[in-house]
Chain A
Amino acid sequence: MPMETVFSVKPFLAVLVSLIAIPCIISSRSQNIRESWTFAAAFIKFALVLSMLPLVLNGGVVEYTVCQIFPNLGIAFRVDAFGMLFALVASSLWIITSIYSIGYMRHLDEHSQTRYFCFFAVALSATIGVAFSANLLTMYLFYEMLSLATYPLVTHHQDKEARSSGRKYLLYILGGSIGFALPAMLITYHFTGTLDFTGHGVMAGHVTSGTALVLTLMFLFGFAKVGIMPMHSWLPAAMVAPTPVSALLHAVAVVKVGAFSVVRVFTGIVGIDLLAEFNIGTVVCVIASFTIIVASLIAMSQDGLKRRLAFSTIAQLSYIILGVGLVTASGMTGGMLHIAMHAFGKITLFFCAGAIFCATGIKNISQMKGIGKRMPITMTAFFIGSLSVIGLPPCGGFISKWYLVLGTLEAGSIPLLVVLLTSSFLNAVYFLPIVYNAFFCSAEDSLFEPERKEPPLYCVVPLVITSICSVILFFFPQPFLNLAKMAATTFLGG
């Protein structure tokens, strides 16, 4: 397949558009005008991303260099299949989350909404920036930008709890990136002389197996947004944020930026061949498996709904890492596809958690008995989201898990297969009782009066859309699946 390279400013514009909207957001006179700027930026961003999709699906790439800082290294963008996959997820979900934000923030009469929407826009710029980065330096730049832009969002309530969670957040995220990722990046640059993401990595032939292993682990733990244990505990802490933030940023953008960065570095810098040759992939798989099982077990014991979701996210992120660690075609396809599939499922769940809080003020699972009769739409969406995250048909999550399981078989690794299946079982154990108790409890046990009372429309519509999307993705996974397959083919060099 001939690789067509197009030089276009579009990727840069896609990053910039939400930054440009910020002065407009700040200077808007009324709430409605302010939110329409958010929507304008979100739609333009999505359109820009979408306009590059046909080219990428045909095997082309879009490149743009903003400025050359070092002779062979600068701030540059390159849109390939993998980046496109992630950008599509992030930019489409931003639109839906914006609708939800309006409903949630206005319903709860939150303070400093302008600041909230501004930093949301910055965070999205950074996310797309990471997705389209052509080299590690650019990615690091946007990664840090995202860390800092999300800090005011996580600590939005500005109370004591937010303060200590914010500290934890910075400690892990900023500490990880400065302490591990930055030196790893510089050491890589010292050995290889380049930081460009290539199809097969740049380390091969420049480093010994020991160095490669150390660098790989430094990247894995340094990009702490991916929440690999023991660098995970910021994620549950960050759940103090308003729910839309948790939804988009901590189920989709931030954590997936972590996963994306790690996968990108594994494939584009370390190289899949090296992962396989030096058995680094196996080490990565073991670490990921540990995180999957332990996080799932912890999730079972959590009573706060958002905290349970957070631990579930930690486990699901490690699926992505596990998929790449398998270094097989199906495993990688599954891992990358999981970025998209898990995003739609998990964001639905978070939207539901927020909707429940909006309508009833309840945060704990133990108080949700019988809530299904009161909020049937919300809880049905919750059910669909759970199915997707567990990986059952007819939801998108099934497809990615299918490929992951195929990947373990291709790698001939029965222990990893067992890990995946056990984790699915655990997922079912900690999600389905919530749904069961919500719908199937006797009238005496129910903590709610039988009348129906859904949260505001702005909150319900987004979660309906995302749950429907989860189902549609089971039947039509094509754009994401094709992109993931293309990316896997490129990385494996076949």
Chain B
Amino acid sequence: MTRHLPALIIVIPLLAALFTAGSGWINSKAPFRIAVAALFFSFVCAVLMLIQVVTTGIAMEYRMAGWAGPMGIVYVIDHLSAIVLVVITAVSTLNLVAQKKNIDAEFNDKEGAFNALYVLFTAGLIGMTATGDAFNLYVLLEIVSLSGYALIGLGSRRAPLATLNYLFLGTIGATFYLLGVGYLYIATGTLNMAELATIIPQNMESGVILFAFIICLTGLFVKMAMFPVHGWLPEAYSQATSVSTGLIAPLTTKVTVYIMIRICMTVFTPEYTFGHLDISGFIVLLAIVTIVFGSLSALAQTNVKRMLSYIIIAEVGYMVGGFFLGNRLGISGAILHIINDAAMTLALFLAAGIFIWKTGGESRSDLKGLFAKMPFTMAGFVLAGLSVVGVPPTCGFFSKWYLISGGIQAGNTLFVAALIFSSLVNAVLFFRLFEIAYFEPFADADSHGSNHGSHTHGGALAIKEAPLDMLIPFLIASITLIVLGLYSGTIVTNIIQFAIPTGVI
């Protein structure tokens, strides 16, 4: 049984997606139940595999249908993919459960289709993470992209346009990646990642391999919304419905960063990426620009979801920059931030989902008086915000710790400064929201009156919390931020450390 986990984790949700689509005609509640069951099953698989990989210290390898590589498709679960799989399945399950009410409201009669897309999207991400085959990765990337376009397109009135924009850029990105894989195949004759890793170091000087590397990376940059190819992201994420953004925002960019790390470390090997090529400095610079640009653009937004989208862009810069610092601390920080940022983004978008559900609006001013109305939701939101700012003991602090340490070790002052700057901007961003939620019903009312007792008599101030089935998953997500923070050292020493080749210091 354990042996087949790498297959089950993707086959079950793929099959479930099929059944979910059909079951909607029979029973309107069935799709949701099947989807949750399948995703939860994947989550259990992921946790079991993580435990096995950590305890044995050996990567799990699974040959699909028994065909050995390089002809057959091999799935490899090592430390890196195991932890990312746990993140994907956990986020996907939690978001689906938390946003049940939003799904019911938005997709009446279309539950079957929506849940099928949702599960398909997750299955694609799982496959991208687990696969050990560069071409198979492309296939799954397209599954993810296509279901992602559909999920986003189901959003607001302007969503189809945003989706079209995303589709154009996303397709270009995916094509670039495919082209890169093609060149790799020409140069090496294989698509199996492990085999590529043995051939590439022997052909370091090959121009074809260099071109393949550059073009793969460019494609991935488009997909993860690095500056200047970020344009599709804010519009797409802010026009989609709450439940779609809750899935797509925490996972898409993070998994793409994972793919980048996988390609650069496992396929092209660190000797090639950091040692042979002299592009790290340029990419870190690009990451710095992304961070600064993302942070500043976030400042200009009044729509909460758009603001969060720009924060995601800045966070992509954190991870890419940290990785291309090329030292152990920076790479650890980047990988840790994949986990932490997924958790933070999930918590933030779940909060946004609750706000939209309760207030109907997604503008900053719709947060008025929410501290008094929904103290628990706001407590969770504050926690998530502080994590993005990087206040201990939330997890955001610790990944930033590694990233900044990596920057110091690499002597890259600019990167350190960009991270600090972005933290400060994030503090402004979130405290601006907290201020509105805390002061607004009061600040205009009677700021000159001396009788403060009168505040309590406002009828609008009675506590009106979000329904429990939204609130509890959300609070779980936000408390996870602290748990992750306190265990970040453990995660790094027991998992991430083994995900980085020993050659990297």
- A-side residues, CB < 8 A to B, are 67-71, 74-75, 108-112, 137, 140-141, 144, 148, 152, 155, 157-163, 166-167, 170, 174-175, 178-179, 182-183, 186-187, 189-190
Q: Which residues of the partner chain B approach A189 to less than 8 Å between Cβ atoms?
A: 405
* Cross-chain contact of A69 among B398, B404, B424, B446 (Cβ < 8 A): B398
Chain B, residues 412-439, CB within 8 Å of chain A (1/0): the string is: 0000100010011001000100010011
A174:B392 contact, CB within 8 angstroms: no
The 5 A-B residue pairs with the shortest CB-CB distance in the complex, in nearest-first order? A158-B442, A69-B489, A159-B447, A141-B392, A109-B453
* Cross-chain contact of B439 among A70, A75, A141, A158 (Cβ < 8 A): A158
A111–B439 CA distance with the chains assembled, in angstroms = 13
- Most B Cβ at <10 Å: residue of A108, A110, A163, A167: A163
A110:B416 contact, CB within 8 angstroms: no
Q: Which residues of the partner chain A approach B398 to less than 8 Å between Cβ atoms?
A: 69
Q: List 12 A–B pairs whose Cβ atoms lie within 8 Å, in order of A's numbering.
A: A69-B398, A148-B391, A152-B438, A158-B442, A159-B442, A159-B447, A163-B435, A170-B431, A178-B389, A179-B424, A186-B408, A190-B409
Is B322 positioned at the interface, with any CB of A under 8 Å from its CB? no
Q: Which residues of the partner chain A approach B408 to less than 8 Å between Cβ atoms?
A: 186-187, 190
Q: Kindly report which residue of chain B lies nearest to residue A70, judged by CB atoms.
A: B489
CB distance from B307 to the nearest CB of A (A): 18
A110:B393 contact, CB within 8 angstroms: no
Q: Which residues of the partner chain B approach A160 to less than 8 Å between Cβ atoms?
A: 443, 447
CB distance from B190 to the nearest CB of A (A): 39
CB distance from B170 to the nearest CB of A (A): 35
CB distance from B457 to the nearest CB of A (A): 9
Q: Which residues of the partner chain B approach A162 to less than 8 Å between Cβ atoms?
A: 439
Q: A110-B452, A170-B431, A179-B420 are in contact. List 16 more A-B contacts (CB 8 A).
A: A69-B398, A108-B452, A112-B455, A141-B393, A152-B438, A157-B452, A158-B442, A158-B443, A159-B446, A161-B447, A163-B435, A167-B435, A178-B420, A182-B423, A183-B404, A183-B416
Is B486 positioned at the interface, with any CB of A under 8 Å from its CB? yes
Q: Kindly report which residue of chain B lies nearest to residue A175, judged by CB atoms.
A: B424
A186:B455 contact, CB within 8 angstroms: no
A179–B398 CA distance with the chains assembled, in angstroms = 16
A178:B423 contact, CB within 8 angstroms: yes
CB distance from B373 to the nearest CB of A (A): 14
B489:A68 contact, CB within 8 angstroms: yes
Q: Which residues of the partner chain B approach A159 to less than 8 Å between Cβ atoms?
A: 439, 442-443, 446-447
**Interface residues in B, total, Cβ within 8 A:** 34
- Most B Cβ at <10 Å: residue of A69, A70, A71, A166: A69
Q: Which residues of the partner chain A approach B486 to less than 8 Å between Cβ atoms?
A: 67, 69, 75
CB distance from A176 to the nearest CB of B (A): 10
A140–B416 CA distance with the chains assembled, in angstroms = 19
A159–B451 CA distance with the chains assembled, in angstroms = 12
Q: Beyond A144-B391, A158-B455, A186-B408, is A175–B427 a contact (Cβ under 8 Å)?
A: yes
Q: Which residues of the partner chain A approach B451 to less than 8 Å between Cβ atoms?
A: 109
Q: Which residues of the partner chain A approach B405 to less than 8 Å between Cβ atoms?
A: 186, 189-190
Q: Which residues of the partner chain B approach A170 to less than 8 Å between Cβ atoms?
A: 427, 431
Q: Which residues of the partner chain B approach A167 to less than 8 Å between Cβ atoms?
A: 431, 435
CB distance from B295 to the nearest CB of A (A): 13
Chain B, residues 374-409, CB within 8 Å of chain A (1/0): the string is: 000000000000100111110000100100110011
CB distance from B39 to the nearest CB of A (A): 31
Q: Which residues of the partner chain B approach A70 to less than 8 Å between Cβ atoms?
A: 489
A111–B438 CA distance with the chains assembled, in angstroms = 14
Q: Kindly report which residue of chain B lies nearest to residue A190, judged by CB atoms.
A: B408
* B contact patch SS: helix
Q: Beyond A68-B489, A141-B393, A170-B427, is A109–B452 a contact (Cβ under 8 Å)?
A: yes
Q: Which residues of the partner chain B approach A69 to less than 8 Å between Cβ atoms?
A: 398, 486, 488-489
A111–B445 CA distance with the chains assembled, in angstroms = 15
* Cross-chain contact of B404 among A74, A148, A186 (Cβ < 8 A): A186
* Cross-chain contact of A111 among B386, B435, B443, B453 (Cβ < 8 A): B453
Q: Which residues of the partner chain B approach A74 to less than 8 Å between Cβ atoms?
A: 489
A140–B386 CA distance with the chains assembled, in angstroms = 14
CB distance from A370 to the nearest CB of B (A): 24
B452:A111 contact, CB within 8 angstroms: yes
Q: Beyond A144-B391, A178-B420, A182-B420, is A71–B452 a contact (Cβ under 8 Å)?
A: no
Q: Which residues of the partner chain B approach A187 to less than 8 Å between Cβ atoms?
A: 408
Q: Beyond A68-B489, A148-B391, A187-B408, is A112–B456 a contact (Cβ under 8 Å)?
A: yes
Q: Kindly report which residue of chain A lies nearest to residue B450, judged by CB atoms.
A: A361
A158:B438 contact, CB within 8 angstroms: yes
A299–B401 CA distance with the chains assembled, in angstroms = 40
Is B493 positioned at the interface, with any CB of A under 8 Å from its CB? yes
B420:A140 contact, CB within 8 angstroms: no
CB distance from B392 to the nearest CB of A (A): 4
B391:A155 contact, CB within 8 angstroms: no
Q: Kindly report which residue of chain A lies nearest to residue B449, judged by CB atoms.
A: A159
- Most B Cβ at <10 Å: residue of A108, A111, A140: A111
Q: Which residues of the partner chain B approach A109 to less than 8 Å between Cβ atoms?
A: 451-453
B453:A110 contact, CB within 8 angstroms: yes
B439:A155 contact, CB within 8 angstroms: yes
A97–B405 CA distance with the chains assembled, in angstroms = 42
A160–B438 CA distance with the chains assembled, in angstroms = 12
A158–B386 CA distance with the chains assembled, in angstroms = 21
Q: Beyond A71-B493, A111-B452, A152-B438, is A137–B443 a contact (Cβ under 8 Å)?
A: no
Q: Which residues of the partner chain A approach B424 to less than 8 Å between Cβ atoms?
A: 175, 178-179
Q: Which residues of the partner chain B approach A110 to less than 8 Å between Cβ atoms?
A: 452-453
Q: Beyond A110-B452, A161-B447, is A178–B390 a contact (Cβ under 8 Å)?
A: yes
A166:B435 contact, CB within 8 angstroms: yes
CB distance from B260 to the nearest CB of A (A): 25
CB distance from A305 to the nearest CB of B (A): 17
A183:B420 contact, CB within 8 angstroms: yes
Q: Kindly report which residue of chain B lies nearest to residue A26, judged by CB atoms.
A: B375
A155:B438 contact, CB within 8 angstroms: yes
Q: Beyond A161-B447, A170-B427, A189-B405, is A71–B489 a contact (Cβ under 8 Å)?
A: yes
A186–B438 CA distance with the chains assembled, in angstroms = 33
Q: Which residues of the partner chain B approach A155 to less than 8 Å between Cβ atoms?
A: 438-439
A108–B405 CA distance with the chains assembled, in angstroms = 50
Q: Which residues of the partner chain A approach B423 to less than 8 Å between Cβ atoms?
A: 178, 182
Q: Kindly report which residue of chain A lies nearest to residue B446, judged by CB atoms.
A: A159
Chain B, residues 446-475, CB within 8 Å of chain A (1/0): the string is: 110001110110000000000000000000
CB distance from A68 to the nearest CB of B (A): 7
A75:B456 contact, CB within 8 angstroms: no
A75:B447 contact, CB within 8 angstroms: no
B391:A137 contact, CB within 8 angstroms: no
Q: Which residues of the partner chain B approach A158 to less than 8 Å between Cβ atoms?
A: 438-439, 442-443, 455
Q: Kindly report which residue of chain B lies nearest to residue A72, judged by CB atoms.
A: B489
CB distance from A243 to the nearest CB of B (A): 13
CB distance from B106 to the nearest CB of A (A): 35
B392:A111 contact, CB within 8 angstroms: no
A163–B401 CA distance with the chains assembled, in angstroms = 31
CB distance from B477 to the nearest CB of A (A): 20
Q: Which residues of the partner chain B approach A183 to less than 8 Å between Cβ atoms?
A: 404, 416, 420
Q: Which residues of the partner chain A approach B435 to less than 8 Å between Cβ atoms?
A: 163, 166-167
Q: Kindly report which residue of chain B lies nearest to residue A187, judged by CB atoms.
A: B408
A437–B416 CA distance with the chains assembled, in angstroms = 56
Q: Kindly report which residue of chain B lies nearest to residue A147, judged by CB atoms.
A: B391
Q: Which residues of the partner chain A approach B446 to less than 8 Å between Cβ atoms?
A: 159
Q: Which residues of the partner chain B approach A178 to less than 8 Å between Cβ atoms?
A: 389-390, 420, 423-424, 427
Q: Kindly report which residue of chain A lies nearest to residue B416, judged by CB atoms.
A: A183
A75–B482 CA distance with the chains assembled, in angstroms = 13
Q: Which residues of the partner chain B approach A175 to less than 8 Å between Cβ atoms?
A: 424, 427
CB distance from A134 to the nearest CB of B (A): 15
CB distance from A152 to the nearest CB of B (A): 7
Q: Beyond A178-B420, A186-B404, is A163–B452 a contact (Cβ under 8 Å)?
A: no
Q: Which residues of the partner chain B approach A112 to less than 8 Å between Cβ atoms?
A: 455-456
Q: Which residues of the partner chain B approach A75 to less than 8 Å between Cβ atoms?
A: 393, 486
Q: Which residues of the partner chain B approach A182 to less than 8 Å between Cβ atoms?
A: 390, 404, 420, 423
A70–B488 CA distance with the chains assembled, in angstroms = 8
